[in-house]
Amino acid sequence: MLTPQGLKGKQYRITGNSYPRLGRPPKKSRKILAAIGAALALALIALGGVQLVDIFSGKKGGTAQACASPNATVSGKPLAAPEPAGSPAATPAAPAAGATSTAVPQPNAVTVNVYNATAKSGLAARTAEEFKKRGFTIGKVGNAPANVEKLPTTTVQVISGPAGLGSATLLASQVGGATKSADTRVDGSVDVVVGDAFTALLEPAQAAEALALATKPSPSPTPVPGNC
Encode pLDDT of 141-166 as tens digits.
999 987 776 655 678 999 999 999 99
Q: Report the pLDDT averaged over residues 88-102.
A: 56
Question: Which CATH architecture is the domain 107-214 placed in?
Answer: 2-Layer Sandwich (3.30)
Q: Tens digit of pLDDT for each residue in 163-178? A: 999 999 999 999 999 9
Pick the closest to residue 192 from 105, 113, 135, 111 (CA basis). 113
Q: Mean per-residue pLDDT for 125-138?
A: 96
pLDDT value at 36 more than 90? no
Strand partners, 207: none
pLDDT of residue 88: 47
Query: What residue ranges do the domains of the chain occupy?
Result: 107-214
pLDDT at 23 over 50: yes
pLDDT at 61: 47
**pLDDT higher at 199 or 22:** 199
Condensed to tens digits (0 to 9), the pLDDT of residues 49-85 reads 666 556 556 555 444 444 544 454 444 545 445 455 4
- pLDDT for 96 equals 55
Give pLDDT tens digits for 176-213: 999 999 999 999 999 999 998 999 999 999 999 999 99
In whole angstroms, give the CA distance from residue 156 to residue 178. Answer: 5
73 vs 124 pLDDT, higher one: 124
Range with the poorest average pLDDT among 19-23, 40-44, 133-137, 173-177: 19-23
pTM: 0.54
**Average pLDDT estimate for 113-117:** 95
Nearest-5° angle of CA 52, CA 54, CA 59? Answer: 155
Residue 198, burial from CB neighbour count under 10 angstroms (0-12, 13-18, 19+): buried
The three-state (H, E, C) secondary structure of the chain, written as one string:
CCCCCCCCHHHHCCCCCCCCCCCCCCCHHHHHHHHHHHHHHHHHHHHHHHHHHHHHHCCCCCCCCCCCCCCCEECCEECCCCCCCCCCCCCCCCCCCCCCCCCCCCHHHCEEEEEECCCCCCHHHHHHHHHHHCCCEEEEEEECCCCCCCCCCCCEEEEECHHHHHHHHHHHCCCCCCEEEECCCCCCCEEEEECCCCCCCCCHHHHHHHHHHHCCCCCCCCCCCCCC
Fill in the amino acid letter for 56: F
- Per-residue pLDDT, averaged over 132-139, amounts to 96
